[in-house]
Amino acid sequence: MSITKEAELIGMQKASEAVAYTLKEMTNYAQVGMSTKELDEFGAKILAGFGAKSAPYLTYKFPGWTCISVDNEFCHGVPSEKRILKDGDLVNIDVSAELNGFWADNGGSFVLGNDIHQHQKLVDASKEILQKALNTIRGGVKISDVGLLMETEAKKRGYKVIKNLGGHGIGRGLHEEPGDLLNYRVKSDKRRFAKNSVVAIETFISTHSSYATESAFLNDGWTMIGERGGYMAQHEHTIVVTDGQPLILTAMNGIFN
């Protein structure tokens, strides 16, 4: 969507506050021995307290209120009583919701407990790349140039980007124009970021894979893993594009801390 009046900005700020606070609290609440189902239900209560509704459930009838992916699960992980969090797990939580007709999205990966599997370097790379992308985005900047920046920064650190996942426009729906905002450069893509537009910018930084595919092992119709295995970290903010630094609507989530 494009922000055209103050009421729209206030609406987006409130929806973004709901998802950002929920993500932060879920991240802090996660602990070794907890099931991802319990963590998801904790998040659901926070969203409900804001009067917000789960976006993946509303849009896709996703079997959970939030997406929680663990270790080799790249994204869209389904919360489960059987999935018990362990020390050193690479955990990704993605929270998106609708509130009073406005939609917001954010996510973050983190290492639970001690970094016994050396995932923190990947997590830090994802955070740094998102920060660099946000520092570059403003009205008139080519979308593909930001994708090139993200891929270049990933390669510098010895990582890959996932090419079939990306950020997106958001506001009055979960996915809107300008469509996919990919983590690599598409030479034929002439689109530019528009001032006052609302977008969800997210990284998909991987150790081994370039594409995400549905997990045949889990066979739940949702959870995605890498086509060549490995691990992936994701961080996401909903922002308003300006003439200068973007307005980060989900800054409260603290994913850069």
Is 94 a known ligand-binding residue?
yes
pLDDT digits (tens, 9 = 90+) for 187-225: 999 999 999 999 999 999 999 999 999 998 888 999 999
Share of residues in the chain with pLDDT > 70 (%): 100
Q: Which domains does the chain have, with CATH numbers?
A: 6-253 (3.90.230.10)
CA distance 170 to 15: 11
pLDDT digits (tens, 9 = 90+) for 101-125: 999 999 999 999 999 999 999 999 9
Contacts of 79 (CB under 8 A, 6+ apart): 35, 36, 37, 39, 40, 41, 63, 64, 65, 66, 68
Structure tokens at 42: 């904790």
Is 175 a known ligand-binding residue?
yes
Write down the mean pLDDT value for the chain: 97
Q: If you average pLDDT over residues 58-85, what whole number do you get? A: 97
pLDDT digits (tens, 9 = 90+) for 130-178: 999 999 999 999 999 999 999 999 999 999 999 999 999 999 999 999 9
User: What is residue 147's three-state secondary structure?
Assistant: helix
Burial of 3 (0-12, 13-18, 19+ CB in 10 A): buried
Is 237 a known ligand-binding residue?
no
Is 119 a known ligand-binding residue?
no
